Structure 1
């Protein structure tokens, strides 16, 4: 099956942009990012309501590349806010589409992934899939305990990129993912981490409970957080925005731009240095905590995400965690590649796919 050429369109909707890429087997033919001005999105009551303009933007981008849609073998969309799913591929069907349109777990741009993939694939009579959705849940029951029965720890993380980078690291070593223990930290606007044991993401530190990041507060002391919420300064929406969007570097330094912070440090800004170093300190601390899940038997640690491009960050995280073993840096947000490679394995029958059940 590896001799067959498969052409796959990957679609990754973001909050203010849509990224697409076309792969032929493992080779990238082209990729494009379509920006959606914030003012053009404000008129829509939800992310799913943006479907017509997102679809139009994708089709225009493909036309600009003179790409013939009839070349496609399958379309892959980023998985949205569905109920907890298993790892790997899910075929997009009417049940999934109905759920995303009418009762998604949360309003999120990723909810558009399956809708857009299906709309492009259907007239071509080819399959559409999602892969390693953000709601992928393989956490063990013991890992889901929080300390309060009303609150259950969730597996929400940068699952698509994290598992793809774990696969890439294992492959580069000649390993099978199912035979190894790998810790992966995705460092971007939010920072999350996972420990993969025998191919399964058995525990996750979400971007709500782990390190602070460019725009998220991460985990906070409970009593002080409760006091803040009841201080009269916040309602539910503003308190949420304070921790997700206006937390972390944004809260301390007034910016979520890591490059700007590094420039300020280079110019002698000691507050910026302390806050930025604090973020790397917390990243390392949470990575190390995941080693306890697997009794310290770590085969490799992988650092990925946009912030893994920063030598400043890498130079401060790695020394704190290298006692765990080898650290591999695979920078960038590789969701489009991860989608394409995952569905390629399905088309080659190296992996199966799941059917969505609500």
Structure 2
């Protein structure tokens, strides 16, 4: 039996998401989530897609990621899909920050682990959890290739003019200060899927990808290669997000420290966890914000307007960077489901060839689709992202034999 299955692991600080895929046809065999790891209220939700069985849930204390992955392995084994299966080709791990060094999926060894660990200061919330998942999976199947797929890799094609900050070069290089970008697996998948939707090869189109979830980022993709993206050294820069401020004058930090008496940790928490939509109106769920707007809530309306204003600025900026745009693609939770956001983001941009058809925009669905008028100069699309498939595809391409 040839090994054609890939287990994709996405380890968060207190969660573990997973999918098992068969790369012969990219079908999903199982998926699930372990959440609230380390708490008494831990929960595991497992769906055996291959057998058509219903979702199984259990609420038991799960002490750490090692226990979480062992619990996942037990659930997979119940469906005949255990980690000891000869059909398993590799484990693909989402790693948020790969720095400048990792430009493609990489088989993990001690040197790779050490480099991911060295990058913890620029990804303190994400890389430690990613490392835990890697080490746990390696301990369970030391003979199996473990592959890191980096969120930052797709953006390493940015030219230096886009990647560099205008600060002292020696200082920047000494501390790895540059723009890395994130959500790379999503931007890679969606830019290719958009080209397919247009009936063209990725090398033939220029696409602006808008990944709008609780975290949000934009990218300018020229002929299949990222040439600019909104997130920077960390996932804080760029668009207004659920709890993150996005772009802000760096002097805000100095002002809050000197005048507001806030510590660096307090300012960090403010900008990352208490800003964005939740800071502006108390909600970070776009559905709730829209409900409040419909009821005449001025604070919710202002938050929405600020969100859209920033989004339009990036669409315009990336239009200028690319010179020619074939499509604007909306993806992720807000991008795929919030029709008012899509309509507002392109409203008034008719001179750039951008418009949405109200009826098409109102349609909900799980498939990639165009929402622009038939005669539009630039296509506007809704393209559901599939980061797990992207990770599995990159992992399998690296290890298949």
Q: TM-score, normalised by structure 1?
A: 0.83
Question: C-alpha offsets along residues 248-290 of structure 1, whole Å, 9 cap, x if unaligned?
Answer: 1111112222222222122221220121132022112112201
- Between the aligned partners of 1:86 and 1:174, the Cα distance in structure 2 is 31
Cα gap change, 1:173 to 1:137, in 2 (>3 Å):
same
Cα gap change, 1:242 to 1:79, in 2 (>3 Å):
same
Q: Does 1:126 align with 2:139?
A: no
Cα gap change, 1:232 to 1:286, in 2 (>3 Å):
same
Q: Which residue number in structure 2 is paired with residue 353 of structure 1?
A: none
Preserved contact between residue 5 and residue 22 of structure 2 (Cα < 8 Å): yes
Q: Which residue number in structure 1 is paired with residue 215 of structure 2?
A: 190
> In terms of mean alpha carbon deviation, does 270-279 or 170-179 score higher?
170-179
Q: Does 1:300 align with 2:327?
A: yes
Preserved contact between residue 80 and residue 114 of structure 1 (Cα < 8 Å): no
- Between the aligned partners of 2:293 and 2:38, the Cα distance in structure 1 is 31
Which aligned pairs between 1:131-142 and structure 2 lie closer than 5 A? 131-134=149-152, 136-142=155-161
- Between the aligned partners of 1:274 and 1:191, the Cα distance in structure 2 is 18
Instruction: Give the Å deviation of 1:60.
Output: 4.0
Cα gap change, 1:60 to 1:110, in 2 (>3 Å):
farther
Q: Which residue number in structure 2 is paired with residue 28 of structure 1?
A: 28
- Between the aligned partners of 1:77 and 1:237, the Cα distance in structure 2 is 29
Q: Which residue number in structure 2 is paired with residue 144 of structure 1?
A: 163
Question: C-alpha offsets along residues 105-154 of structure 1, whole Å, 9 cap, x if unaligned?
Answer: 43233444465346536736332212243365222111134333256541
Q: Which residue number in structure 2 is paired with residue 104 of structure 1?
A: 120
Query: Which one has more relative contact order, counting CA pairs under 8 Å at least 6 apart?
Result: 1
Q: Which residue number in structure 1 is paired with residue 256 of structure 2?
A: 228
- Between the aligned partners of 1:110 and 1:290, the Cα distance in structure 2 is 29
Cα gap change, 1:101 to 1:271, in 2 (>3 Å):
closer
Which aligned pairs between 1:158-177 and structure 2 lie closer than 5 A? 158-177=183-202
Cα gap change, 1:98 to 1:87, in 2 (>3 Å):
closer
Preserved contact between residue 96 and residue 182 of structure 2 (Cα < 8 Å): no
Q: Which residue number in structure 2 is paired with residue 356 of structure 1?
A: none
Cα gap change, 1:104 to 1:208, in 2 (>3 Å):
closer
Picking from 238, 244, 250, the partner of 1:216 is 244
Q: Which residue number in structure 1 is paired with residue 13 of structure 2?
A: 15
Equivalent residue of 1:221, what SS? coil
Q: Does 1:328 align with 2:353?
A: no
Instruction: Give the Å deviation of 1:76.
Output: 0.3
Equivalent residue of 1:157, what SS? coil
- Between the aligned partners of 2:95 and 2:9, the Cα distance in structure 1 is 10
Preserved contact between residue 189 and residue 215 of structure 1 (Cα < 8 Å): yes
**Number of equivalences:** 337
Cα gap change, 1:54 to 1:100, in 2 (>3 Å):
farther
- Between the aligned partners of 1:316 and 1:193, the Cα distance in structure 2 is 16
Q: Which residue number in structure 2 is paired with residue 180 of structure 1?
A: 205
Q: Which residue number in structure 2 is paired with residue 93 of structure 1?
A: 109
Cα gap change, 1:337 to 1:51, in 2 (>3 Å):
same
Preserved contact between residue 88 and residue 132 of structure 1 (Cα < 8 Å): yes
Instruction: Give the Å deviation of 1:68.
Output: 2.4
Q: Which has the larger radius of gyration?
A: 2
Q: Which residue number in structure 2 is paired with residue 284 of structure 1?
A: 312
- Between the aligned partners of 1:87 and 1:177, the Cα distance in structure 2 is 19
Show structure 2 runs of 5+ residues with no match.
42-62, 354-377
Equivalent residue of 2:346, what SS? helix
Runs (4+) of structure 1 exceeding 6 A deviation are: none
- Between the aligned partners of 1:7 and 1:175, the Cα distance in structure 2 is 29
- Between the aligned partners of 1:156 and 1:102, the Cα distance in structure 2 is 18
- Between the aligned partners of 1:99 and 1:223, the Cα distance in structure 2 is 31
Preserved contact between residue 214 and residue 241 of structure 2 (Cα < 8 Å): yes
Show structure 1 runs of 5+ residues with no match.
42-48, 350-358
Picking from 319, 326, 329, the partner of 2:347 is 319
Preserved contact between residue 143 and residue 153 of structure 1 (Cα < 8 Å): no
Picking from 58, 62, 86, the partner of 2:72 is 58
Q: Does 1:266 align with 2:280?
A: no
